Structure 1
Amino acid sequence: MNIWILSSGFLGIFTTLIHIFAGQIDPVKPFLQSDLKVVPKATLLACWHLVSATLLTSSLLLSYTGLYSVELLYLPAQLVGLLYVLFALVFFVVGWYFFGSKVFIKLPQWGLLLPVGLLANYGAM
């Protein structure tokens, strides 16, 4: 068992659940009720669920890799970890653009994404 990668996988699953359930309340529901045209609305909703699928699949990969210490999957685990670090960076940059130093409060998603990436990369070294 690789506790670092397993922890990143479990935190990733937790993050996925927050994305799927809490995300429906705050960003998705108001977005769907907006006056945006149907095609862009449908496209953005599909993108939202593409992210859900990515978060779930990558978290399951990390959990499996960590639980069984599958060294053959350490490189993919590192790549998934890098992806999560990049996700956190995107939230930070976009948040900084819109909110300046209030990014840490207005777009706190980075706070869940970054630890998943760091734990995965540490565990796969």
Structure 2
Amino acid sequence: MNIWILSSGLLGVLTALVHVFAGQVDPVRPFLKSELADAAKATLLACWHLVSVTLLVSSLMLTYVGWFGLYSFYLPIQLVGGVYILFALVFVVVGWHFFGGKVFVKLPQWILLLPIGLLASYGAMPV
């Protein structure tokens, strides 16, 4: 068992659930009621669910590898950890563009994404 990778996976599963359920209430429903063309709405909704799938599948992989301590998967885990760190960075950069210094409050998604990436990356470091 690798507690660092397992922790990142469990936090990732929680994040995926928050994304699927809470995300439907706050950003998705109002967006679907907007005046955008249906093709744009459908594309962006599909992208939203692509993110849901990515969060869930990668988190389940992290959980599995962490539970069984599968050393042979540590390189892919480092890559997944790096992706989560980049996800957090994207939220900070985009949020900074729109909200300046209020980014950390207006777009708090980085608060969950960054620890997932850091825990996975740390847990998969070569010894």
Give the TM-score taking structure 2 as reference length: 0.98
Unaligned runs of 5+ in 1: none
C-alpha offsets along residues 62-94 of structure 1, whole Å, 9 cap, x if unaligned?
Answer: 000000000111111110000000000000000
C-alpha offsets along residues 30-52 of structure 1, whole Å, 9 cap, x if unaligned?
Answer: 00000100000000000000000
Per the alignment, residue 41 of structure 1 pairs with: 41
Q: Find the aligned partners of 1:35 and 1:100 in 2 and give their Cα distance.
A: 27
Figure out how many residues of one structure are paired with residues of the other and give that number: 125
Per the alignment, residue 19 of structure 1 pairs with: 19
Does 1:124 pair with 2:124?
Answer: yes
Q: Find the aligned partners of 2:72 and 2:20 in 1 and give their Cα distance.
A: 30
Does 1:101 pair with 2:110?
Answer: no
Residue type of the alignment partner of 1:76: P
Residue type of the alignment partner of 1:26: D
Q: Find the aligned partners of 2:36 and 2:95 in 1 and give their Cα distance.
A: 22
Does 1:89 pair with 2:89?
Answer: yes
Question: Quick one: percent identity of the two aligned structures?
Answer: 70
Moved over 6 A (4+): none
Per the alignment, residue 60 of structure 2 pairs with: 60
Deviation of 1:6 (Å): 0.1
Per the alignment, residue 6 of structure 2 pairs with: 6
Per the alignment, residue 71 of structure 2 pairs with: 71
Q: Find the aligned partners of 1:30 and 1:73 in 2 and give their Cα distance.
A: 40
Deviation of 1:106 (Å): 0.1
Q: Find the aligned partners of 1:35 and 1:12 in 2 and give their Cα distance.
A: 33
Give the TM-score taking structure 1 as reference length: 0.99
